[in-house]
Structure 1
């Protein structure tokens, strides 16, 4: 089942400015923070001395921008991500079901290391990922992969699934992107990056299902 969304509702669901949940996601782990801190220090040094001749005001502003890079970059990065989705002119609220759920082990990176004999070895970093395939009676099917969590154990084929779909066509025939997948039965979200304002989506889901239940009576 597919219900078109107004542009106003869509922009509420995927705002231009990063949400707190998106900011925390892009913030990353300690290695990510350390890389940003190093970049901030290098940035301060890079802008401070070349700009020494233009006055303390410009120096101060440029130094603050560079020095606080570690803090403001996650918000900017998340906002850029949101713009990728907000470029689509048409969107809809889609409701279907889980067709298949399974776990795979994916290669997420490689690291160089030295073994006991002093030889260089390549160590593969792998991560267990949840694969969720969803579809509906029209034949539409799509798949989303996310980092595996213990909460995912409750997911079963046949569970109701809801998602925001994006298209360049007004009739939404050609779906190009989907958002996080919401499973209302378990009140569970499946995704890596949290695209939507989840409280707004959950309220929309509740109202939609309530109206649907009334029609079936």
Structure 2
């Protein structure tokens, strides 16, 4: 079942500015976190060194000082920028609807999240893969298959079973939803459990909207 939502409801459900859970989600990747630390430290230190090397009467000295502070704060505004970019990918769709269906099928899959070269005891380089188990949910309703939702497997996800009710926001370029462009994170009301790779939705607002629109 698909229940269309208005543009104002969509803007409320997927904010343009990062929420707390979204900020946290954008800081989970160790490689991205390390990159942000390096950019903040290198950019900040270089900017401050340049500002100190300039004459105190130079009009560029205060500018370089501000740039240095901005670089040091990259650890804060970097995740905010990343979350805003992710949110924008869903907010750009012209139409959206609440989906209520069921978990038609579920299965686990090993996903390679990272590859790196590492020296073994003999000094030879070997490829090391960081693998993680992901859970894939096939979503469907009375009209048939809708799409798939994938996310890293955790212990709490072992409770999920076929046939359980699932609610999510679906987005499309077409008003008849003949082609689904994206699916948000999803709510399993029987387990009171949210699932998804990234928390796109303002979850309390979505739960409240579902209570009003799915009576």
Q: Give yes or no for TM over 0.5.
A: yes
Per the TM alignment, residue 50 of structure 1 is displaced from its structure 2 partner at its CA by 5.0
Q: Measure the CA separation in 2 of the matches of 1:103 and 1:35.
A: 30
Matched, 1:136 2:141: yes
Note if contact 2:137-2:149 (Cα within 8 Å) is conserved in structure 1: yes
Q: Measure the CA separation in 1 of the matches of 2:146 and 2:89.
A: 22
Correspondences of 1:82-101 after superposition (within 5 Å): 82-101=87-106
Per the TM alignment, residue 29 of structure 1 is displaced from its structure 2 partner at its CA by 5.3
DSSP 3-state at the match of 1:171:
coil
Q: Measure the CA separation in 1 of the matches of 2:122 and 2:65.
A: 51
CA deviation string 1:78-98 (max 9, x = no partner): 011111111111100011100
Aligned match of 1:172: 177
Aligned match of 1:35: 35
Cα RMSD after superposing both structures:
1.7
Normalising to structure 1: TM-score of the pair? 0.90
Q: Measure the CA separation in 2 of the matches of 1:70 and 1:180.
A: 25
1:62 to 44, 57, 67: 67
Q: Measure the CA separation in 2 of the matches of 1:192 and 1:108.
A: 13
Per the TM alignment, residue 155 of structure 1 is displaced from its structure 2 partner at its CA by 0.7
Q: Measure the CA separation in 2 of the matches of 1:44 and 1:197.
A: 34
Correspondences of 1:174-193 after superposition (within 5 Å): 174-193=179-198
CA deviation string 1:57-111 (max 9, x = no partner): 2122111111111121101110111111111111000111001111111111212
CA deviation string 1:151-185 (max 9, x = no partner): 11111111011110101112222211110011111
Aligned match of 2:114: 109
Q: Measure the CA separation in 2 of the matches of 1:18 and 1:39.
A: 21
Unaligned runs of 5+ in 2: none
Per the TM alignment, residue 204 of structure 1 is displaced from its structure 2 partner at its CA by 1.5
My pick for the range that moved more, 14-23 or 52-61, is 52-61
Q: Measure the CA separation in 2 of the matches of 1:54 and 1:153.
A: 61
Per the TM alignment, residue 140 of structure 1 is displaced from its structure 2 partner at its CA by 3.2
My pick for the range that moved more, 33-42 or 181-190, is 33-42
Aligned match of 1:215: none
